[in-house]
Structure 1
Amino acid sequence: MSLQYKPLSLVALATTAVLYGCGGDDSIEKTYVYDDTTKTGLWCPSPQIVQTVDADYHPLSAAEQAALKAAAMARDGAAFDEAAFNAYTYDYAGINLFEVLGLTLSEQARQATAKEEARAFKISQGQQDIFADEFDSWFDSWFASVPLTDYLGPSERLSKASRGNELSLTAANNSQEICYTPPAACPNYQIPDESGTFACITPLDNPLVDEQPAVSYMAPAGKAAIFYRSAQHIDNGDNTEVYKDLTIHAWNDPDCTSYQDESTTNWGQGKPSEGIDPIYGMYWTLDLLEAPDQCGNMIVYNKVSGAKRVSEADLRIPLANAGHLANLDKMSYLQDGIKVNNYDGKLYANQHPLLGAAAGGTKACGWGLELDGTGEVCVGQALAAQCPAGTIAVGEGQEEIASKCILQFDPAATTLYLRGGFNDWGTANQLSYANSKFRLNVSYGSHPESATPAEDGTVNYGFKVADANWSDATTFGAIKGGDTPGVGSEALLTAGNGVGQDMFVALKENTIYQYVLNATNPAAVTLKINEVPLAVFPVMSIDGEPVELEYSGAGQFSMRMSLAPDTYSISIADMDAGFAVGAGADATVTLNQPYPLVSGGSALSLTVTQQNEYDFILDLSAPDMPTLEVKPGKPLGNTAVFIRGSLNGWTAPASDEIVFDDASRSYSVIYGLEASDTAYQFKFASEDWSTVDMGYSAFDMSADADAIALTDVGGNIGIKVSKSSSYLFKLDFNTAKPVLKVTELPIYIRGGMNGWGEEHQLAFNATDADNTNEAGHTYVTGINLAADNVFFKVATADWSTVNLGAPTDDGLTVEVGQEVSLGATNGNLAIFPATAGEYNFSFDLVNKKLVVTGPN
C-alpha cells in the first residue's frame, strides 16, 4: 500500500487508444504513462482502478465454468435451475471460489508476500524458539490452515473474468490497461486502495464531509488531536458525566516515535483533555516531534476503573504525509460502535470524523486470529493442540489477541514481583514462594502528591505480576474479556507478553493489601487480592502438622480440615512476620465459642468427640484482641436431618431432608402448608431421633419483619399460616445458638401470559377436606390462556431460589394433560392450547414435575 488512490483530472490525460466497456458510451479512452509525477496513463471513476491485463482477466475457461456449475449444483441440489445458470452472474454465496477456481497470478504473488509477513510475525511472537527445529514444518502447516480470505480478501478470479468477458479480452490484450472494480466491500468512509491488493483504506478527503457538522477544534502545526465519541454522547448536550475520568495514555516506541517527552504519559495518570466537542466528544492534543514517525501510540481509558474504550488492544493514530496512513491535518477520530482500522495487524484511529459512517465491509482477521461464531469478531486462534510438550497456548478466544505458544513456567524455579504504577513498574515488591503459591503483603501509605484520588479516596494503579525480565512465560495479566482481580476477589490470569492485560487495583491510604498468586496449576494461575488487618500469612500447626490459614474476609483467616475424635495441640504463627498467638491461662478451646488469644502464648488444646470436618477461624479484625473459633464444618454433622412433625406424620421421607448451604452456613427446606387456625407442630431431627433432635429450645427465633411467629408447643415448634402457599424453613448457624426463620416463599408461573411477572402464584394444593392442617410439596394455579403459543417457567421472585424450565437449553413444548420433568436450565417451557380457556397448572417441587390440564 504505497499511495492512497485519488482519481486524476481528465484534463491531464492524453488520448492514445481505446478499449470498450468502461465509459458512459460503453467505451474508454486509454493513455500511456507519460506523467513522471502521477505515473498513470488511464483515468477511471472511483471505485474503479487502473489494472494491467494478464491471464487473470481472460474470460472463464470451459473447465472453470464446469467447475462453477458443479459447485452450484452441489450447494443447491434439487433447487438448481440449470436453464437459468450463467457462470458469470450466478449467486455463489457460501461457495469457496478459491477452492473452485484456484488462485490468480496476482493472488499467488500476494500469498507469497503474505507468507513472509506471517513468518516474520510468528518469529516476533517467539514461535521459532518454541518449535525449534520443527518450526518450518509447523509454520507451513499452520499457514496452510489460515483462510485465504483472511489475507487475500474475496476471490478475484470471477470478478476479473467477468470484466474480461465484457471486453472480450484475450492474450493479445496482455499488458494493456483497463478500468476494473475490485470485489471489495468497504465501509462508507473507506475505499479500495489502488495497489491491486484491494484492501480498504481511508481516502485523503473525507467522503462524509458534506453530511457532517464542523469540528470545533483543529490541531495547530506541531500538534496532533485525538477525538473520542462515547455511545452515551448527547449531541450539543452536557456530556461532563459521560466523559468523567477518561484520559489517554500516549507513548513512544521504536515503531512509533512521534511525541515530545512532555506529551508521553504514565499509565493510570494520563493526560487532561482539551475539552469536549459538542458533536465529536472529548479530545486531547499531543505535541509532535519536528519529524514524527508515521504513527503514534495511544489508548483511551478510564483512569479510575482502568477500562479501555473502543478496543482492549493498543491503538495508534496515523500521522504520515502520504500512503495509507496519510493524515495531513493530524486529526484522529474514535467512536464507540465503529471498529478501528486494521493496517498490517495494527489498529489505527480514523483520519476523518466518523459521524454518519457505517462499520460494514468484509471482516478479515490478522495473523493468529480467527472469526468467532458470530462471524463479526476476531479472536485468538485455537492453538493448544499444536503447542509442543512443555508449552501452553495463550490468547485463545480473546478478542483481538493473537494466540501463541509459550513455555509453561516452573513456579519453584521462578522469582516473581508485583510490578505496577505504585512502584514505577519495578522489582521492589518480591513475592515469597511456598507450596505452589506466591504471596506478598504490601503496606500502602500516603498517596503521592501527583495523584488525584477518586471520590472514595482511592487511587487506581495498573499492575502485572512478572519476573525481572518480563519473560513471556512469567508475565501475568488479566484475560481480555474475563475477570480482572480487584480487592476481595480472585481471577484467572494468563501469561504472555501482548496477551495478558494490565490489571487495576484501587488503593486507599494506610491500608495493608495481600496478594496471593496460586500456581498449583501452572497453566491456570489465579490471583487473589484482599485488604487485611495485619501483614501476616498465619500458619496453624495441629499436632505438629502445619496448615495454611487463608484470608476469608471481615478480618478473618480460616481453613477446614477433617478430624477424628481426639484431643489436639494447636499453635498459630507467621515466623517471617514475627507473629505468634496462643493460649493464656486456660488453653482449652471449646467448639462454637471464640477463644481469646494472647501474643506469644502457649499451645492450645482442642477436644472433638465426633468425626467431622471442622472450620478454624482466626479473627484479627481487632488486631489487639485476636480470637480463634472452631466450628463443625456442617453444624449437624454428616447425618441426614429432616423436618419432622404433623405436616408429614412425624416421619422422615427423603423429600423432607434439610439441605445445607456452605456459603451461608445454613440449612433449609421448602414446604407447602394449608391455611389453618390450628398450629402445625414440627422439629428437626435425624431418622433415629437421637443423633439430632432439635425442638423449640434449640433455637433463637428470628425477629425479622418478614418472619412468621413461632411458638413453643411442649418442646415442639408451632406455626400457624393464614395463606395456602409455599414456605421456607431456614436454620442459620452463624451465631453461637442457631436462628430459625420461617417465611412465605411464593412460587409463580412466570411467562408471556403475565409479562414474566408475579401475577400467577402457585397455592398449596390441599386435597383432603377432612384435614385442615394439610401439608406437602404440590402447588396449583389456574390461568386463562388464549389459543396461542406462550413461553413460561416456574420461578420465585428472585429467579434463583426456584428457577425451573425445560430439561435442556433447547426448550420444551408442554402438551395438555401430559406430565413433564423440569430442569434448572436456560430453556423455556412452551404451551400452545388448542382452545382458549382456563387451564390448571399443577407443580410438584420435590420431583420437579409439571402437568397442565383443561380447559375448565
Structure 2
Amino acid sequence: MFWVLDLVDGHDNCGNFIVYHKSSGDKFITQNDAMIPLGNSGDVVFHDIDKRVFFQEGFPANFIDGVFLANQHPFFGASAGSKSCGWGTALDASGEACLGQEILDCPAGSYPVGVGQTDIASKCIEEFDPTETTVYLRGGFNGWGDPLETAQFTHKGDGHYAYHLTYTDHPEGSSLSHVAGKQIEVMIEAGETLTLPDGEMLAVNSIPAGSVLMLADGTSVTLGDGTHMLSLPDGVDAPTSDTQTYALTEGSKLTLAANANFDDFACVTQCETSYFFKVADANWSEPTTYGGVKGGDTPSVGGTIALTAGEGVGQDMSISLESDSFYLFEFDAAKSSEATLTINKTPVAAFPMLTIDANDPIELAYTSNGQYAASKVALTAGTYSLVLADADNGFAVGGKTGDADVTIGEALTLENDGSALSLVVASDGEFDVVLDLSDVANPTLLVQSGVPYGTEKVYIRGTMTGWGDPAPDEDEAKYNEDTREYSLVYGLEAGGTHAFKFASKAWGGALDLGPSAYDYSTADGALAIGENGNFTVSPTESTAYEFSISFDGKTKGELKVVEAPIYIRGGIYGSGDWGADETMRLNFEPSDAGNDAEAGHVYSSVVTTTGTGFFKIADEGWGGSFGFNYGASAEQEAAGTNVIELGVPFDTTHGNDSKNISFQQPAGQYRFSFDDVTKQLTVTTVE
C-alpha cells in the first residue's frame, strides 16, 4: 500500500508509525514508534534526497537524537573487524572493500547507480530523456563549459551525441608531459650544461630510463634505470658522485624516452597536459551528469569506457590533450544505465557527410587512423554524383581538375574544396565508402564492394596445422553478409600458446594479414591477443573457440576470440528439457602428450544420459550463436535410420530444418564425439 501526502511548509519530521502483527500484537523493526522524516521544509533531522527510505526486519532503524528513523537504503551497511561499511554499501567477499549494494526495486522510470562500486553508496536515479535534454562537455579545458554554447554536443538521434573539441595552445604554466610512444630531442646550446641530478635546468627524475645523451663528437651516453647515473662508453670518464653538472659542447642533444615528465623545462613539440571533465546538462542535474565508474577504466584517446550518472557516483575523468589538435567525443546514452564515451583524435573538426545525387546526406562515422566510413550503402546500377562536405564546419573535399571519376575498388586522391565526384556502378549491390584523411593535404576516397576482402577467401594459418601450405578447406573463415563478419570455430588445448594469422589459402596469395591489420576486442570474455609478428592466444580451457573478424561499421576489422560452447541438446539428460546443459557440453580433448598446443575440429566429452530419447548437436542459440545446429536428415527420419548405433559414425545434417536424432540406449555414461569436418557423430560406451 502507499499514501500520497501533501506536505505543508514549516512542518518537519512527521510520519510516525509502528509495524506490528494485528493478531499477536508483535512489533517489528523497533519496539518504539518509528519515523519517516517527511518534511517540505524546516529542520528535517535526517532525510533522503531521493525521497526513498526503508525499514527491514533484522536491521535496526537508524537511531538519531533519540528518534528511530527510517534507513536511507534497504540494507544496513555491513562491517567486519576493523572494516566498516556505511549506508548503501556492503563488504565484498574478501572483506577488504565496501561495495555499493544491489537494488532490485527501483521505481519505474529510474535505475540503480553505484551498485558494485568501491566506497560508493548505491541509489536509484531518474532516467533522462535525450529528446528533451541538451548535453555539454564540461571540463578544465573549456572553463567547465563556460560559455556553454561552445561546449554543446550535437544530438545525432536515439541518445547518441557527438562533440568536436578544438584544443589549441597549452595554457601558460601547464604541467606538460611527453606524448606516449613518441621521442623528443632537446638541443643544448654551446657552453650550457646538463644538470645531474638536482639542478635548475633538468631534474634527473624527469628523465626516464632509456633516454640517450648524444654528444657533439658522436659519443652516445645512455641513462640507466634506478640509479639515474650516466652509462658511458669505454674510454669516457664517468662523473663522480658529487658531480652536479656535465659540460656539453655545441650540438649536443638529449633524446628522451616516451612518457618523460617536462615539469622542469620547456616542452616545445609533442607535449600534452591533462584536464578533468564530465558530461552534463546545463544545470548539473543528477540524471544527466555523467562521470567515470570508480575503480573502472580511465578514458584514453582511441578508446571507449563505461560512464555512470548520479551525484557522488560518477567520478571526474581525466584526459591528456596535445596542442593544436582536434578531439571527437562520442557520448552514447541510448540507454541511460549503460552510457559509454568514446574519444578519438581526428584530422578535422567536422562531421564529413556523403551526398549521393540529391538524396539525404549520409554521415561518415569516424573509425580509426584518420578514416571515416559508411558501410553497406545500397546502390543500383547507374552513374552517381558524390559530394563530400560538412558545410556547418567549413569542410569540403572533392575531385581534382580532370580527375573526379571514382572507380570501384581503387582509391582516388582528392583535394580540399574540389569538385563533385562521379561514380559508375555496373551492377546492384552494397558498398563501403571510406574517406581517408590521415594525410589532410592529400585525402583519398575508396568505394569498394561491401565484402571486405571481395571474392578472396580468408583462412586461419598457424600452429594449429603446423603453418601448412595450402590451408585445409575446414580452416576457412566464412563470411556472414548480415553481420559483416568472418568467423570459424576451432578446438584449442588449454595451457599452450597458439600462434596464427589470416591469409589466402596458399602463401603468396592476395592476403597475408598479421596483427597490424586488425584492432582487438577483449569484450564479452574474449581472450587477449598477443602481438609478435603473428597473433597469439593462450586459452585456459580445452574447448571450442570462435575466431571472428568483424567489419560491422568498421573499415579496420576487429578480431575477437571467445569460447564457443557446443552441446548435446535433447531429452536424454537431466530433466529432459533440451536446455544447454554444461554437463552435456562437447569440448576439445587433446591426445598428444608431447604437444602442449594441440588444436582441431573434433569436439567430444563423456556425458551421462538418463535413457532413451531424442537430441541434436547445437549451440545455445540453436545455430544463432556459433552456427552449430546439427540433426538427422528428413530422409533418415522417414527411413527410420535416424537412430544412433554405438561405434558407428552418424552423418548429420545442418540447419533449422534438420530432424531429431534418436538415442535408444539405456541410461549410463557415453562418449559423444562430433567431427566438424566430416559432420559425423560417433557415440561409444565408457568402460
Q: Which has the higher contact order (CA 8 A, sep 6+)?
A: 2
Greater helix proportion: 1
TM-score normalised by L of structure 1: 0.40
Question: Greater Rg, structure 1 or structure 2?
Answer: 1
TM-score normalised by L of structure 2: 0.48
Greater strand proportion: 2
